[in-house]
């Protein structure tokens, strides 16, 4: 019972810490939010280390190898946790770290009080009538709302005229430290936390410059790890992860083969499937708190489009040959009219091939960037609605657009992949079309 209660305490504390950190970030307090969340994690890890030591020394199986390992892990992890706490104290605000560290104990106190309350006579009298209970809950919500507003007004920021002068623009790092001079406007990310913690560090400037690329590399590594995890021990009765990966691969295989045909389709399933999953994951990553959508950067979408362009042209040279590729660019002239129009078809086809990466990159970038800006605009509107109360949070209006963002992310990944498949189909040899026409003629005969 005690371990089950401790597990519920960890889950409740983690959820409460996430909510409190997100509320602090919505008010613009990036460093305090990071300190609060780090304190919660440190406190939960401390509780886990204490559990390992206690269960290793006092459990019925004490003295066995598993119990000794648990106790040793708890004893070794405690000084490591203390060292990590010392590093966090040098980077993050100590007061917010302490608040996050004490949050699980506050949850423990509230759980104890709620246990006493649920067993009391007053609670039984209160819940005997639903109307009486609803009235009491509504009164508590109103009192908490008014109390939060009064606290926020009492601790409001000083007026602009009382604030100190801003740092000069020519000071190194001042433009990045001042959020009003930043060019990127959006939700806070892990890179924002790093930038706020060390605004003058050279390596932070490098991380900020290559933020989209680093997130893209991280997502690629995460997908590779999930694929390795799903396929490292294949089973006849698949695990949930293996079942999901097999279903995705089968669906993409059937989709690609349905467009390219059974002769060429299986050959290009790995490339097209990887392209779809990679773009879909990058689109969705912007919806995760503290994460960033790499496809909202034109650099990433241009790189994807250029990869498709190079691969399509390479496929054309490999399948058609150099002469066949130029014959394709000339419009496959086979009669006098075709050869007369060949000088006109060559520049048209070349311009069309060069326009394909431009359309692919701009379409994906515009849709994902516009989707992110829509969420940011409605999140700002939700904060502005309650700005008169000076609360550290706002109405989550942007959450209403999450289903639309999920649909848009999947649709844009599908459009990019379908267009790439069509570009490959146009570049492949057309013998199957000719054999199809011959079969139709034989059937008609």
Q: What is the mean pLDDT of the chain?
A: 78
Among positive and negative, which fits the CA dihedral 160, 164, 165, 168?
negative
Give the Cα separation of 11 and 44 in Å (integer). Answer: 9
Note the pLDDT of residue 230. 87
Higher pLDDT, 108 or 164: 108
Exposure string of 202-225, with b = 16+ CB inside 10 Å and e = fewer, is eebbebbeebbebbbeebeeebee
pLDDT, greater one: 418 or 110: 418
Q: What is the pTM of this model?
A: 0.60
Q: What stretch of H or E contains 210?
A: none
Averaged pLDDT for residues 98-124: 79
Helices and strands, counts by H and E, the chain: 15, 0
Mean pLDDT of 370-383: 83
Q: What percent of the chain has pLDDT over 70?
A: 82
- Helix-, strand-, coil-residue percentages of the chain, each rounded to 5: 80, 0, 20
**Length of the chain as a residue count:** 445
Domain range annotation of the chain: 1-148, 215-444
pLDDT tens column, 79-88: 888 888 888 8
Cα 342 to Cα 79: distance, rounded to the nearest angstrom: 77
d(CA 192, CA 293): 14
Confidence tier at 295 by pLDDT (50, 70, 90)? very high
CB 309 within 8 A of CB 356: yes
At residue 189, the 3 state secondary structure works out as: strand
pLDDT score, position 257? 92
The label of the residue with tokens 């401790």 reads 6
Q: pLDDT, tens digit, for every residue of 58-86?
A: 777 777 877 778 778 878 888 888 888 88
Q: Would you say 369 and 408 are in contact if contact means Cβ atoms under 8 Å apart?
A: no
Region 408-415 average pLDDT:
92
Predicted pLDDT at 147: 61
Taking CA atoms, 44 is separated from 56, 100, 195, in Å, by 18, 10, 26
- pLDDT of residue 307 exceeding 70: yes
Q: Given this model, what pLDDT does residue 392 score?
A: 61
Among 416, 410, 223, which Cα is nearest to 308's? 416
Residues 6+ apart with CB under 8 A from 443: none
Q: Do residues 110 and 46 touch, judged by C-beta distance below 8 A?
A: no
Torsion of CA 328, 329, 332, 335, to 10 degrees: -160
- pLDDT number for residue 389: 65
b/e sequence 61-77, b meaning 16+ C-beta within 10 Å = eeeeeebeebbeebeeb
Q: Which residues are within 8 A (CB) of 21 and not within 5 positions of it... i.e. 6 or more apart? A: 33, 34, 36, 37, 40
Dihedral (Cα; 128, 131, 134, 135), 10-degree rounding: -110
Distance from the Cα of residue 398 to its chain's centroid: 16
Q: What is the mean pLDDT of residues 159-170?
A: 42
pLDDT at 163: 42
């Amino acid at each position: 019972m005690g371990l089950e209660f401790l597990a519920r305490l960890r889950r409740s504390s983690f959820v409460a810490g996430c909510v409190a950190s997100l509320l602090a970030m919505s008010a613009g307090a990036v460093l305090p939010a990071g300190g609060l969340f780090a304190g919660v994690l440190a406190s939960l890890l401390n509780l886990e280390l204490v559990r390992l030591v206690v269960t290793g020394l006092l459990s019925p199986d004490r003295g066995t190898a598993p119990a000794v390992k648990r106790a040793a892990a708890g004893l070794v992890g405690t000084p490591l946790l203390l060292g990590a706490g010392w590093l966090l104290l040098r980077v993050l605000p100590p007061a917010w770290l302490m608040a996050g560290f004490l949050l699980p104990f506050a949850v423990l106190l509230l759980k104890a009080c709620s246990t006493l309350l649920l067993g009391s006579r007053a609670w039984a009298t209160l819940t005997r009538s639903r109307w009486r209970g609803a009235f009491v809950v509504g009164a508590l919500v109103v009192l908490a709302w008014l109390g939060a507003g009064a606290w926020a007004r009492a601790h409001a920021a000083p007026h602009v005229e009382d604030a100190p002068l801003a740092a000069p623009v020519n000071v190194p790092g001042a433009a990045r430290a001042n959020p009003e001079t930043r060019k990127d406007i959006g939700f806070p990310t892990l890179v924002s936390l790093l930038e706020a913690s060390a605004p003058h560090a050279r390596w932070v400037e490098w991380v900020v410059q290559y933020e989209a690329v680093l997130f893209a590399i991280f997502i690629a590594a995460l997908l590779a790890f999930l694929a390795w995890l799903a396929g490292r021990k294949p089973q006849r009765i698949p695990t949930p992860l293996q079942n999901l990966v097999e279903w995705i691969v089968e669906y993409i295989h059937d989709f690609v083969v349905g467009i390219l045909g059974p002769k060429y389709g299986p050959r290009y399933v790995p490339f097209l499937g990887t392209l779809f999953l990679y773009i879909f994951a990058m689109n969705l990553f912007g919806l995760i708190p503290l994460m960033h959508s790499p496809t909202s950067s034109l650099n990433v979408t241009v790189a994807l489009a250029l990869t498709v362009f190079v691969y399509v042209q390479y496929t054309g040279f490999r399948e058609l040959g150099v002469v066949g590729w130029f014959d394709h660019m000339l419009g496959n002239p086979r009669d006098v009219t075709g050869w007369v129009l060949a000088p006109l078809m060559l520049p048209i086809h070349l311009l069309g091939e060069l326009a394909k990466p431009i359309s692919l990159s701009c379409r994906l970038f515009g849709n994902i960037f516009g989707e992110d800006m829509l969420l940011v605009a409605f999140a700002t509107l939700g904060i502005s609605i309650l700005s008169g109360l000076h609360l550290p949070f706002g109405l989550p209006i942007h959450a209403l657009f999450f289903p639309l963002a999920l649909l848009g992310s999947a649709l844009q990944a599908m459009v990019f992949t379908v267009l790439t498949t069509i570009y490959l189909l146009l570049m492949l040899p057309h013998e199957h079309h000719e054999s199809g026409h011959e079969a139709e003629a034989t059937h008609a005969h």
